[in-house]
Structure 1
Amino acid sequence: MSHPTLEDVAARAGVSRALVSLVMRGSPKVGKERREAVLKAARELGYRPNVMARGLAAGRTGIVGVLLGDLHEPVYAAIHDGLAAAAARRSVRVLLTTGGGRPARERAAVEQLLDLRPDGMVLAGPRIAAAEIERAAAGCPVAVVGRSLRSDRVDQVTGDDAAAVERAVARLVALGHRRVACLDAGPGSGRPARDALERAYRAAMEAAGLAPAVRPPGEPAGPWHGPGAPTAVLALGDSTGTAALAALYRAGLSVPGDVSLIVHGDPPGAAAAGVTTAAPPPRELGGLAMGALLDRIDAGTTAGGRRITVPPVVTERATTAPPRGTRG
């Protein structure tokens, strides 16, 4: 079944196609009675203006394509909320797709978005090669969330992950903890990211005059009871943080009675479970990326990308407390 056209609306309302076009554009040149007749006919037929065609004719579609790295990771849902809110404030529509965390799927998704000729694109957590992002940016303005590139044409919004780790360690030290173990982010985060986070942890511990202790992801290894056991844990990464809380409970520990826990990231259900987190607010990341992109679209240029770094926030909840024996 074909979609109703301007001609169909004109025939139903008994007016010309040109007059229907004026009504759909909101022209003040049409009288109230004829306008209402056209709108009534459009409603009865289920007519909707072709936004894509109208936008292409005007040189702007009013649509921004958004690629989310992996919908199974809750951080992307929060990033999307920020993107969507910023787009809505400026009357822009969002066309959403995902790459499922796989470069080949991302590559195909980006090509599909480009085929639809959006005004611009936001890539959140992309895993495709930097050269491919550059090629996409040659066709339309592009903003990237959560990844740093050597590019002067792509807007880049990243969180300060090293600062998040430093603030988490500093908060645990301020609570009185001296034995702070670190659970690394696991293979899913990528080796460079894991190394950078671990270096930040080691530096923060050494700056506090404390001995770092990195443990593998998953089931926390090593003694968790008795003298010398950690009194606090910093878990790196969303999935590691979720696993750490469950593993600490399985080890027979109370949190924060026996051991405090801070998660670097924003694991699923963190707020509901009362987990303390240290991370840049993902909603803010999305909002800033969309804002930077729309500013550049309005300026009519694909060059001059901005670099924005979002500082972390430590959100203290029920999993952190002073070490046992030091509480008043």
Structure 2
Amino acid sequence: MSHPTLEDVAARAGVSRALVSLVMRGSPKVGKERREAVLEAARELGYRPNVMARSLAAGRTGMVGLLADLHDPACAALHDGMAEAAARRSVRLLLVGGGGRPARERAALHQLLDLRPDGVLLANPRSSASDIERAAGTCPLAVVGRSPRSARLDGVTGDDAAAVELAVSHLAALGHRDIACLSLSPRPPASLRNAYAAAMRDAGLGDRPIARDLLAPPAPEDGGRAGAWRPSEPFSAAVAIGDATGAGALAALGRTGLRVPGDVSLVVVGDPPGAAAIGVTTVAPPPRELGRAAMELLLDRIGGERPEEGRRITVPPLVVGRPSTAPPA
């Protein structure tokens, strides 16, 4: 089935091809009556402008690619922020799924680059730094959720250390004095450990090590019973670092019979899937804002409005208070 052409529209409207071209480009040189006649003919025929042909003539596609893990619940909000920023500057956004694995993501990135987009956004990429650097040599590129090392790349991230401090401050303001910090990692980054210690000192609560015993598997001497957990120190509130830790903390607290927030208040530094549905307080940068900032950086670079050095933006975290936190019993 052939697509209607400019010539078809011109014949239907009884005007020249050149005049149809002027109308499709939005030229002010065409009178209202003839413009409406051309647009009506285009609607009747189902004519749509050939964006790719127009792009070749202009030297740009007017399209930006987004490579993201479509299984990540935060992807939708990231996309919304990017789409809003793109629409304000009349840019189309093409979303491609990376699958969450380096090899699949690399293949998807190559397919996206084959379409010759004006730029590419990578959301929480799993690809190696060298793969991302090579892609940046093909077209302008910005990264969300990871701080790139290359001066050719723009990057937008959250501030995990600030989020930990904000979480502790939120619980302290509710009146909690025994606040544990939980992490699945055997050794969380020094920046997060230092942020937790600093927030505890600022709240006048002293130092306390980051705990893993809540999330560790049941000890053999407990017969493998899932509920056999004995914390090294009692606490009335906990800050869980990361989505996986937050999910693990909720499961472990449930197995032990501790009520949230009746016995323990819980804040997750991150935004795990289902947090809103089950009422978990979170501290994280708004994904929509991360997406908007990344798109604006990329479009500035595409438009030549930015110097060659990569720019870094940190989006501050926000506390979203939900029923998992309350004053101590």
Superposition pairs of residues 35-184 of structure 1, within 5 angstroms = 35-68=35-68, 70-184=69-183
* 2: CA distance, partners of 1:323 / 1:32: 70
* 2: CA distance, partners of 1:217 / 1:61: 52
Paired residue secondary structure (1:139):
coil
Paired residue secondary structure (2:168):
helix
Superposition pairs of residues 173-212 of structure 1, within 5 angstroms = 173-185=172-184, 194-195=188-189, 199-200=193-194, 203-204=197-198, 207=201, 208-212=205-209
Residue of 254, 260, 276 corresponding to 1:249: 254
**Cα distance, 1:42–1:205 mapped onto 2, change above 3 Å:** closer
Paired residue secondary structure (1:3):
coil
Structure 2, gaps ≥5 residues long: 218-225
- TM-score of the two chains, using structure 2 as the length reference: 0.86
Give the AA of the match of 1:133: I
* 1: CA distance, partners of 2:122 / 2:96: 10
Aligned to 1:322: 327
- TM-score of the two chains, using structure 1 as the length reference: 0.86
Aligned CA-pair RMSD: 2.7
Please report how far the alpha carbon of residue 289 of structure 1 lies from its aligned counterpart in structure 2 after TM superposition.
Answer: 0.7
Give the AA of the match of 2:139: C
Q: Deviations over 1:62-107 (max 9, x none)?
A: 2111111x22221222211211111122222111112111111211
The answer to whether the 8 A contact 1:67-1:99 is kept is yes
Q: Which moved more, 1:266-275 or 1:126-135?
A: 266-275
Aligned to 2:229: 222
**Cα distance, 1:262–1:197 mapped onto 2, change above 3 Å:** farther
The answer to whether the 8 A contact 1:183-1:220 is kept is no
Please report how far the alpha carbon of residue 288 of structure 1 lies from its aligned counterpart in structure 2 after TM superposition.
Answer: 0.7
Please report how far the alpha carbon of residue 58 of structure 1 lies from its aligned counterpart in structure 2 after TM superposition.
Answer: 0.9
* 1: CA distance, partners of 2:326 / 2:109: 46
Aligned to 2:223: none
Structure 1, gaps ≥5 residues long: none
Please report how far the alpha carbon of residue 210 of structure 1 lies from its aligned counterpart in structure 2 after TM superposition.
Answer: 3.2
Identity %: 69
The answer to whether the 8 A contact 2:81-2:290 is kept is yes
Aligned to 1:11: 11
* 2: CA distance, partners of 1:309 / 1:220: 40
**Cα distance, 1:175–1:36 mapped onto 2, change above 3 Å:** closer
The answer to whether the 8 A contact 1:170-1:204 is kept is no
